[in-house]
Amino acid sequence: MIQQTLVLIKPDGVARGLTGEIIKRFEQRGLKIVALKLVKIDNDLAKQHYTEDISKRLGEKVRNMLLNFITEGPIIAMIIEGVNAIENVRKIVGVTESKAALPGTIRGDFSHVSYSYADKKEIAIKNLVHASADETDAKNETALWFSIDEIFDYKRAGDEHIL
The correct pick among 41, 124, 141, 146 for binding ligand ADP (CB under 6 A) is 124
Instruction: Tell me, by CB under 5 A, how many residues bind Mg ion.
Output: 1
Contacted by 128, from ligand ADP, Mg ion, none: CB < 5 to 8 Å by type: none
Q: Mapping DSSP to helix (H, G, I), strand (E, B) and coil, where does residue 118 land?
A: helix
Q: Which residue, 102 or 163, has its beta carbon nearer to ligand ADP?
A: 102
The Cα 109–Cα 149 span in angstroms is 34
Question: Which has the closest alpha carbon to 140: 30, 53, 23?
Answer: 53
Instruction: Tell me, by CB under 6 A, how many residues bind ligand ADP.
Output: 12
- Does 133 contact Mg ion by CB under 5 A? yes
> Site mask, Mg ion, residues 75-114, x = CB under 5 A?
----------------------------------------
Q: Is 1 exposed, middle or buried (0-12, 13-18, 19+ CB in 10 A)?
A: exposed
Q: How many CB atoms lie within 10 A of CB 135?
A: 11
